Structure 1
Amino acid sequence: MDIEWYEDFLALVDTGKFTAAASMRGSSQSALSRRIQLLENHLGATLIDRAKTPIRLTAAGEALLPNVVELVRLARDCEQSVKVIDRPLTFASLHTLACNFFPQWISTLNSLESPMFTRIDTGYRSTDDYYMALMSGRCDFILFYRDARTESYSQQGDFEVLSLGHDELYWVATPELAARCAQPKTPIPLLTYSRSAQLHEMSRLQISRHPEPNRLRHVFEATVSEALKPMVASGQGVACMPHSMVAPLIKRGELVRLYPDMESDHLEIILVRWRDNRNPSARALWERLTG
């Protein structure tokens, strides 16, 4: 058995499609499908319900998922521990923030003369997982959106929270699909975040504000914005997405903002630190940010 089988499994869970998972893994669809079958044969259980699109996990797949997340994480940590001498500053981050906020933000703190050694980790599946990683020392900071769940941790007093900026959540679609949505009684294909995604709860308010919710038809869901973005851009449906994710596509005219009169949701971007973190570099950065 190869650890890559489990990484394939996670990619398939994240994207909901064999084609998208294969692209994420740099593999052909047939090769990835074959490795998933090998994993199922090894475990003696069917993990994927292939009769549905996007794919769904079977009961066995749902039971396996948390253990796979931890197994892949431990494997990556083992590889990292022997490849580096210096300890990097590790940020556990949502995919969306890792791709669209972190590079620009960290560049304001870095310099060519004295660059920081940093590492980004987007593999956690729940808010609890993020905070457990913080307290176990597997990461130094959490880069997150503020929500009710993060607030419950912040109120415990074991964590320090710093506001870094804001994002905005609103509806988008291709111009062609937007024109179709303007036609009365036409079903509107909806692309959403999976329940395990932090943005799932945050986008529910936008969905509840939809002027005609009875027209919405769920056609796709994913745990990360990076999987939703190409689906929206190819005209597969409408979605609530962060401004930082879709702004370039809107500027190029590939996407348009729907329902401009509808109130958008403002998302606060936060950096979280555990007070008992023992990494001197992490402490120095925090003091620099808050000083």
Structure 2
Amino acid sequence: MDTAWLESLLALVEHGSFTRAAEAQHVSQPAFSRRIRSLEQWFGADLVDRTTFPVTLTRVGTDVASFARSSVAGLAELRDDVRGRQLSPRNAVRISVSHTLAMYYFATWWTGVTGGDVTCTLLPSNTLEAFDALLHGGCDLVLAYADPAHPMGVDQGDLEWIAVAEDRIAPYAKTSEGAPAFSLPGTEGAPAPFVTHGPGAFLGRVTENVIGSLPLQLRPVAQSDLTAALAGLVVAGMGVGWLPGLAAAPAEAAGAICRIGDPSWTAALEIRLYRRRRHHLSSQAALVWEGARH
């Protein structure tokens, strides 16, 4: 059995439809349906009543969902605990950091907060995986981007955060002979080539929120969930890309890329440090938290 099948069943219970559950798991509906069918074949019984809407479970499906809920959470907790013991130096602060911040920001920030006197285990991760690790004990702290205008769709009732810095996502293009190689908004006859984060990436959702209502004519040519890879595509002249300032800064300082478009076609970002609310931090993690507050 693939544990992804169990996770898909739980997503179906939560969202009540195959379409919404597939979107939540960032897979196509046919792929999601195959997971549920595979799980049913493994158990040898129908788990879902497909004649109702919202979708309901059969009696067997209800039993399987109850098992899945406890087993998936238990396996994740055990995995994170084992990984933590295997990978972390003694007394190290385990900090999950979004890939972009791990590459462009973490080292400077960590040194400023701790003076280099605290040992850490840096766990690069996408934003949602970082929150999952935090809530299930896989790390002590999370350092990630946040979009103040559009809170994430995760339950942050159990999380406490500190805003430690600000950034801005904006459109950039390659510089060619002192001028941008592409311009916005583009036209219907000549849409601007567009390189973008995937829809499952946090910064991809931020970009969608920015451009969704704008009068832009864009032609998607490439996609990557890694901001560093996306910045490389912009530098190579493959198209226009919305990048956070931290990721764009090295190439912009070298004159390789420049900001384009209207100043309003951007979005403010916060860099936040997260911890579990009402959870006891180790003495070292507490030092980091207090250092970030001041």
TM-score range, shorter chain: 0.5 to 0.7
Question: 1:72 Cα deviation (Å)?
Answer: 11
Q: What TM-score does the superposition give when structure 2 sets the normalisation length?
A: 0.64
Aligned to 2:142: 142
> Runs of at least 4 residues of structure 1 off by over 6 A?
71-77
The correspondence for 1:226, drawn from 220, 225, 228, is 228
Question: 1:104 Cα deviation (Å)?
Answer: 1.0
Aligned to 1:284: 287
SS in structure 2 at match of 1:201: helix
Superposed CA offset, 1:189-234 (max 9, x none): 11111111111111113323544x2x31111111120221111110
Gaps in structure 2 of 5+ consecutive residues: 1-27, 36-74
1 CA distance for matches of 2:83 and 2:240? Answer: 40
CA contact (8 A) 1:206 1:240 kept: no
The correspondence for 1:107, drawn from 108, 111, 117, is 111
Aligned to 1:81: 85
2 CA distance for matches of 1:79 and 1:140? Answer: 13
SS in structure 1 at match of 2:172: strand
2 CA distance for matches of 1:119 and 1:103? Answer: 12
Of structures 1 and 2, the one scoring higher in RCO (CA 8 A, sep 6+) is 1
Q: Which amino acid aligns with 1:271?
A: L
Name whichever structure is richer in helix by fraction.
1
Question: 1:255 Cα deviation (Å)?
Answer: 0.3
Superposed CA offset, 1:153-172 (max 9, x none): 34x2x321101010011100
Distance 1:84 1:160, change over 3 A: closer
2 CA distance for matches of 1:138 and 1:116? Answer: 19
1 CA distance for matches of 2:235 and 2:81? Answer: 35
SS in structure 2 at match of 1:268: strand
Please identify the structure whose Cα radius of gyration is greater.
Answer: 2
Distance 1:82 1:208, change over 3 A: closer
The correspondence for 1:116, drawn from 92, 115, 118, is 118
Q: Which amino acid aligns with 1:146?
A: A
Question: 1:79 Cα deviation (Å)?
Answer: 6.1
SS in structure 1 at match of 2:180: helix
2 CA distance for matches of 1:180 and 1:135? Answer: 43
Q: Which amino acid aligns with 1:234?
A: A
Aligned to 1:165: 165
SS in structure 1 at match of 2:122: strand
Superposed CA offset, 1:9-48 (max 9, x none): xxxxxxxxxxxxxxxxxxxxxxxxxxxxxxxxxxxxxxxx
Q: Which amino acid aligns with 1:144?
A: A
CA contact (8 A) 2:77 2:136 kept: no
Gaps in structure 1 of 5+ consecutive residues: 1-55, 64-70
Q: How does 1:121-270 map to 2 (within 5 A)?
A: 121-124=123-126, 127=128, 129-147=129-147, 148-150=150-152, 153-154=155-156, 156=157, 158-176=158-176, 178-181=180-183, 185-208=189-212, 210-211=214-215, 213=216, 215-270=217-272
CA contact (8 A) 1:161 1:272 kept: yes
Q: Which amino acid aligns with 2:170?
A: Y
Q: Count the aligned residue pairs.
A: 222
SS in structure 1 at match of 2:94: strand
CA RMSD of superposed structures (Å):
3.4
SS in structure 1 at match of 2:193: strand
CA contact (8 A) 1:161 1:270 kept: yes
Question: 1:151 Cα deviation (Å)?
Answer: 7.9
Distance 1:98 1:270, change over 3 A: same
